Amino acid sequence: MSSVHPESLLAEVAALPSLPGVYRYFDAEDQVLYVGKARNLKKRVSSYFQKDHGGTRIGHMVSKIRRMQTTVVRSEAEALLLENNLIKTLSPKFNILFRDDKSYPYLKVSGTGSARSNKSDAGVKPDAYSRIAYYRGGVEKKHRYFGPYPSAWAVKETIQLLQKVFRLRTCEDTVFANRTRPCLLYQIKRCSGPCVGVISVEQYADDVAHAEAFLRGETQSVLKAMEARMMAHSDKLEFELAAEVRNQMTALSRVLHQQSVDTVTDTDVDILAVKVQGGRACVNLAMVRGGRHLGDRPYFPSHVEDGHAIGGTALEDDEAAELPSLEVKVLEAFIAQHYLQIPVPPALITSEKIDAKVVEAISSQTGIKVTAVHNPREQRRAWLEMAEKNAAIQLARLLAEEGSQQARTRALVEALDLAPDDIDALRMECFDISHTSGEATQASCVVFQNHKMQNSEYRRYKIEGITPGDDYAAMRQVLMRRYGKVAEAMKSGEADTKIRMPDVVLIDGGKGQVSMAREVFESLGLDLSLIVGVEKGEGRKVGLEELVFADGRDKVYLGKDSAALMLVAQVRDEAHRFAITGMRAQRAKVRVGGGRLEEIGGIGPKKRAKLLQRFGGVRGVEDASVEDLMSVDGISRELAETIYQALH
């Protein structure tokens, strides 16, 4: 095996220290193959090159190694954390990899609530009354955040719950500051009306404190505090206030009964269940926060079989140790990668027994003592069983969808008489043009490969320099911009794996658009057989579409039940969706005047907003005279004349 590797690489392996660290392997194109950790770098890395791994997956990977990098660390825990940081950053081909689909949402309690109400003309200050809101993004110290929650639905449900029980405000500060009478939420008893001073700062602060305690799971202490508050009002003969607190207690008790959290001792717990089948895996993460089960979210890692074959071989430092199962490997990879940036709760409940070193590493990084329970009892057992069932359901759904997509890809290959080297690598790019009466014309390019849409490779093209509404000119421009560089690279003989022609170029349009695509491809010297147009059928009915070709072939009608047509329609509709959302965003930007007014010196965000609000948009600003512009607060005569000249 070593004969295929450079001598410099083997010398580097021989010189490695016997210390803990992380290693990275690269291929001839300098693409990262694998990231691994080791208690003993010399022993671990040498084992890759001293053994004959045959035709196994690990043998396939080792044969590609041309270069490596190593980093020495102080402990195995540090090695684990660095390894998974690099895995998430580099996306190696042979590691089990969990991708972050999106960030987690939080429930935000804004403001300090320490300000006092101002009874002057300025009105009540919003900072005096904390606001609850749905939130994603970076955190600020002046606010409090609860979560993370597994879904937006879980956050919004919690906000509704807090509105019913504690009647906290959800309105923006600008709305709050300009209210002169209570809103509808006050009328339906979902808000206590702080905007108009119906409730005092002190009483509202008590409600906020109780809501935060409830979110932390301190339900019994909240009920006791509310009971004491109710009795205090009663002793002072403030029976209406006492009745309000009593109603809050009743609502809270009803919620606790529905949620069954009054008997649960756990406040913050994550439940992790893994299911492996058919070469794919699913990790189902369920979250319990404040004693309430908030729901779950499935995760599907890539490179499952490769990552297990390489990471779970006899290359472990202790070769006598029992090798972990694929389920354990997947679960450990998820824990190590997931909690690098997400707050970790003090308790993890897992469907498989994981290595204690993984938990120790997470604890050392976060500073929180984390425990992992493998065989839970009572309520924890019910949570785990539910998570295991959901993992199995989600994985079965994924396998069914992938099987369906693979069948559609195969049907399209047969229908178009394609001959790809690998059906899994079949690449289709689809183009669509979108505009509104010629305004804000945009073209979209979406990509289908590996039996699914590749969102990260989508592209939008801003179309300029054409007659408004000329879809043919727009199609010519986008195809020239997309494939011009590809044609140049092919003519010069330069091999670039990042620039390649797709197997199918799908055009949303009939003969006219296909003819335009044909002209572009002929001018670039590209293969006309790649172009396929999707022509709408009679009455533009779905399922009656016909395929039009640029190389002279006759039209093809696949049939409304054809799996190939379903795939074509799926890709075509995605291109249309992507184009129209981009066009609407561009059109909205133009109509609110974000472009032209920003270019005028002396016009910042505040003045621009005042102008647009005063005149109803950029066209209204254009029609305004210098005197009209001067009527806007902060606009001097000199600035008004500058604006007028810039817009005329």
CATH of the domain at 73: 3.40.1440.10
Q: Report residue 398 as tokens.
A: 């994924």
In a domain, 485, yes or no: yes
SS3 call for 118: coil
The predicted structure's pLDDT at residue 251: 66
Residue 406: partners with Cβ closer than 8 Å, 6 or more residues away = 423, 451
pLDDT-derived band at 229, boundaries 50, 70, 90: confident
Q: Are residues 545 and 623 in the same domain?
A: no
Q: In terms of pLDDT, which residue wins out, 324 or 280?
A: 280
Are 436 and 567 in a shared domain?
A: yes
Residue 435 sits in the same domain as residue 479: yes
State what percent of residues in the chain have pLDDT above 90. 17
Question: Which domain CATH number covers 556?
Answer: 3.30.420.340
Of 1, 6, 52, 51, the C-alpha closest to 26 is 6
User: Could you tell me if 369 and 488 lie in one domain?
Assistant: no
The model's pLDDT over 574-586, given as tens digits with 9 standing for 90+, comes to 998 898 887 776 6
Tokens representing 194 are 């702080």
Region 201-211: mean pLDDT is 87
Rg value, the chain, Cα: 31
553 and 616 inside one domain: no
Task: Say if 525 falls within a structural domain.
Answer: yes
- Residue 587 has a pLDDT of 60
Q: What is the pLDDT of residue 176?
A: 86
Residues 353 and 459 in one domain: no
63: its two tokens: 């044969």
| Residues 464 and 571 placed together within one structural domain of the fold | yes
The token duo for 445 is 């390019």
The reported pLDDT for the residue numbered 434 is 86
3-state secondary structure 77-106: HHHHHHHHHHHHHHCCCCCCECCCCCCCCE
Q: Is residue 105 in some structural domain?
A: no
Predicted local confidence at residue 256, as pLDDT = 53
Contact indicator for 621, 615 with CB cutoff of 8 Å: yes
Q: What is the DSSP letter of 517?
A: H
What is the mean pLDDT of the segment spanning 475-483?
92
Q: Which two tokens stand for residue 627?
A: 């005197």
Q: Give dist(CA 275, CA 260) in Å, integer.
A: 28
Max Cα–Cα distance, the chain, nearest Å: 93
Rounded distance between C-alpha atoms, residue 240 and residue 259, angstroms: 29
CB 363 within 8 A of CB 76: no
Whether residue 468 is contained in a domain is answered as yes
Tell me the two tokens of residue 281. Answer: 């895996």
* Pair (452, 576) in one structural domain: yes
Q: How many CA atoms lie within 13 A of 43 on its CB side?
A: 12
Looking at 58, 90, 122, the residue that finishes a domain is: 90
Query: Hey, how many other C-beta atoms are within 10 angstroms of the C-beta on 135?
Result: 18
Query: What integer pLDDT is reported at residue 518 of this predicted model?
Result: 93
Residue 15 lies inside a defined structural domain of this protein? yes
387: number of CA atoms within 13 Å, CB side? 32
Examine the domain organization and report whether 513 and 428 are in the same domain.
yes
The verdict on 642 and 513 lying in the same domain is: no
Q: Is the model's pLDDT at 259 over the cut of 50?
A: no
pLDDT band at 422, cuts 50/70/90?
A: confident
Spatial CA neighbour of 478 closest among 446, 514, 432, 512 = 432
Residue type, 71: T
CA distance 495 to 568: 30
Q: Report the alpha-carbon distance of residue 585 to residue 307 in Å, rounded.
A: 41
Q: What percent of the chain has pLDDT over 70?
A: 85
**Which of 245, 111, 252, 216 minimizes the C-alpha distance to 171?**
111
Residue 100 belongs to a domain: no
Would you put residue 347 in left (φ > 0), alpha (ψ -120 to 50) or beta? Answer: beta
Residue 117 reports pLDDT greater than 50: no
> Is residue 416 very low, low, confident or very high in pLDDT (cuts 50, 70, 90)?
confident
d(CA 380, CA 348): 10
Residue 273: predicted pLDDT: 95
> Vertex 180, ends 239 and 164: CA angle to 5°?
50
Residue spans of beta strands (DSSP E) within 245-334: 269-277, 280-289, 292-299
Q: How far apart are the first and last CA of the chain?
A: 74
Cβ–Cβ < 8 Å for 393, 278: no
**Contact at 8 Å (CB) between 568 and 547?**
yes
Q: Is the pLDDT of residue 446 over 50?
A: yes
Of 567, 588, 609, the domain-final residue: 588
- Tell me what the pLDDT averaged over the chain comes to: 81
Out of 117-131, 173-187, 360-374, 611-625, least confident range:
117-131
Q: What are the b/e assignments for 40-74, b being 16+ CB within 10 Å?
A: bbbebbbbbbeeebeeebbbbbbebbbbbebeebe
pLDDT exceeds 70 at position 608: yes
Examine the domain organization and report whether 539 and 571 are in the same domain. yes
Residue 123 has pLDDT above 70, yes or no: no
Beta strands in 352-458 (DSSP E): 371-373, 428-436, 439-449, 452-453
Residues in the chain: 648
Peptide bond into 148 cis (omega under 30): yes
What would the DSSP string read from start to end of 159-198? HHHHHHHH--B-S-HHHHHT-SS--HHHHTTS---GGGTS
Report the SS3 class of residue 472.
helix
Cβ pair 525, 487 in contact under 8 A: yes
pLDDT for residue 319: 46
Q: What is the pTM of this model?
A: 0.64
Residue 609 has pLDDT above 80, yes or no: no
Q: Domain containing 628 — which CATH number? A: 1.10.150.20
User: Is 448's pLDDT higher than 90?
Assistant: yes
Q: Please tell me the distance from the alpha carbon of residue 233 to that of residue 210, in angstroms, as a whole number.
A: 17
DSSP 455: G
Closest CA to 440 of 577, 578, 576, 584: 584
| Nearby residues of 273 by Cβ (< 8 Å), 6 or more positions away | 283, 284, 286, 350, 351, 384, 387, 388, 390, 391
Whole-angstrom Cα distance, residue 384 to residue 286?
9
More confident residue, 518 or 2: 518
Q: Which pLDDT value is given to residue 365?
A: 80
Q: Is the pLDDT assigned to residue 438 strictly greater than 80?
A: no
Q: Tell me: do 335 and 447 sit in the same domain.
A: no
Q: Which of 316-325, 394-403, 460-469 has the lowest mean pLDDT?
A: 316-325
How large is the angle between the packed helices 239-259 and 152-166, nearest 10 degrees? 150
- Answer whether 395's CB lies under 8 Å from 281's CB: yes
Which one, of 295, 301, 296, 283, lies nearest residue 354 by Cα?
Answer: 283
Q: Please give the Cα distance from 381 to 378 (Å, whole number).
A: 5
Residue 502 lies in a domain: yes
Per residue in 546-570, pLDDT (tens digit) is 899 998 888 888 887 788 888 998 9
Per-residue pLDDT tens over the stretch 318-362: 444 566 788 999 999 999 888 877 788 899 999 999 988 888 888
Task: Spell out the residues 6+ positions from residue 497 whose beta carbon is closer than 8 angstroms to its own.
Answer: 29
Give me the domain span that covers residue 540. 423-588
In a domain, 638, yes or no: yes
Taking the C-alpha atoms of residue 590 and residue 618, their distance in angstroms, rounded to an integer, is: 8
Contact 16, 47 (CB under 8 A): no
Domain count across the chain: 4
Q: Does residue 631 carry a pLDDT above 70?
A: yes
Select from 90, 105, 136 the last residue of a domain: 90
Rounded CA separation 617/615 (Å) = 6
